[in-house]
Amino acid sequence: MSPPERRARLSELRTWVEWLCHTAELHNEVPPCWYQHRWLREMLTALYLGWLRAYEAEKPAGRAFTEADWISTVNAFKPYLKLPACLSGHQEPPLPPLSNPGADDAFELYLATSPDTTDPARHPAEAATRRITTKIHPIA
């Protein structure tokens, strides 16, 4: 998104978060500085999009996200919405760890040599299917 579009979307999210905090009585869960925490913004955005799907969107057959599902999702998110560090005012999130200079090389080596990435594809039930087939049609 362009910067103006991001600002507009964040303003829209803010209006909705204020509504959510009031309606669902989440004043003690969602800190006032929620917008300064990327992961909290992501969770609230997910709740907002789920709310739109549950309450405002057309529900395709068999794929409905019901209002009760959305409420259950909000309740499941509650413990993750709290930021104890920000109870007495905003605290900056910790800085990301310094990058490991050899991490890219180690990852590339893993991709090139690991059986997880180099062995031929197999179906998880291949061995069981082979056993069953052998019992039904034994090789003479």
Question: Containing domain of residue 24, as a range?
Answer: 3-85
Q: Are 35 and 70 in contact (CB under 8 A)?
A: no
pTM: 0.67
Q: Is residue 136 domain-resident?
A: no
Q: Mean of the pLDDT values across residues 30-59?
A: 89
| pLDDT tens figures, 14-41 | 999 999 999 999 988 999 999 999 999 9
Q: Is residue 97 domain-resident?
A: no
Residue 21's CB: how many other CB atoms inside 10 A?
A: 18
Q: Is residue 92 domain-resident?
A: no
Q: Give helix then strand counts, H and E, for the chain.
A: 6, 0
Q: Is residue 106 domain-resident?
A: no
Q: Is residue 19 domain-resident?
A: yes
Distance set, CA 46 to CA 28, 43, 121 (Å) = 20, 5, 34
Q: Is residue 112 domain-resident?
A: no
Number of domain units in the chain: 1
| pLDDT tens figures, 3-17 | 889 899 999 999 999
The residue count of the chain comes to 140
Q: Is residue 75 domain-resident?
A: yes
* Concatenated DSSP letters of 9-47: HHHHHHHHHHHHHHHTT-TTTS-TTGGG-HHHHHHHHHH
